[in-house]
Amino acid sequence: MPGDIARLTGQPFPDTAYNTGRIYLQDDGQGFVYLTWGFGRDPEDTDYRTNPETRPYRWVGFFSTTDDKGRNYLGAVQQWLNPSGKISYLTYISFSFEFGVATWRQMAVGFPMVNTGFWTNETCGETYDCEALFDEETNALLRSWQKTGEIPEELEKNVLAPLISTGPEFLPLTP
């Protein structure tokens, strides 16, 4: 997994970084449900977005891959500081290759999408990111993260489907 490679060169977070463990399932009203700490609702959101040294997450690697049907994907690895102090590495992959690395880098954070029944094989298709959305184990681990605030170690072995957005709630207020 790309996260295993990132772990070999991963850097510690600064002492000012923190994670309260509060995380929610957020519905954007269009069927996209993802994990988040509640943009604009919690003080840590403002702190993380204005003070990069407090953020408990960062992008640490990008990669591309092609499936057996010749479709191109873009992936990214995200390093997380858990409330316990444990470091986790999450691997995301997106069929939306046109977003590019520049879009991922400018996002303050990209949270994993969770399938709550909105997606079907007909609406999603047969792509790597759709496979991640339909994986019952992955969805159960994501819900465990939401309930406990800690990223389950098993989740680091799974590929996640990211919510990719350059909306203002996803962009940092400062670099």
Residue 106 lies in a domain: yes
Residue 71 has pLDDT above 70, yes or no: yes
How many structural domains is the chain composed of? Answer: 1
Residue 173 has pLDDT above 70, yes or no: no
pLDDT score recorded for residue 23: 83
Domain that holds residue 92: 2-160
DSSP string, 65-84: EE-TTS-EEEEEEEEEE-TT
Residue 129 lies in a domain: yes
Tell me the pLDDT band of 107, cut-offs 50, 70 and 90. low
Residue 166 lies in a domain: no
Residue 175 lies in a domain: no
pTM of the model: 0.83
Residues in contact with 8: Cβ distance below 8 Å, sequence separation at least 6, in sequence order: none
Tell me the pLDDT band of 40, cut-offs 50, 70 and 90. low
* Dihedral, 118, 124, 130, 133 alpha carbons, nearest 10: 0
Tell me the pLDDT band of 24, cut-offs 50, 70 and 90. confident
Residue 151 lies in a domain: yes
Residue 173 lies in a domain: no
Q: Once rounded to an integer, what is the mean pLDDT over residues 84-102?
A: 78
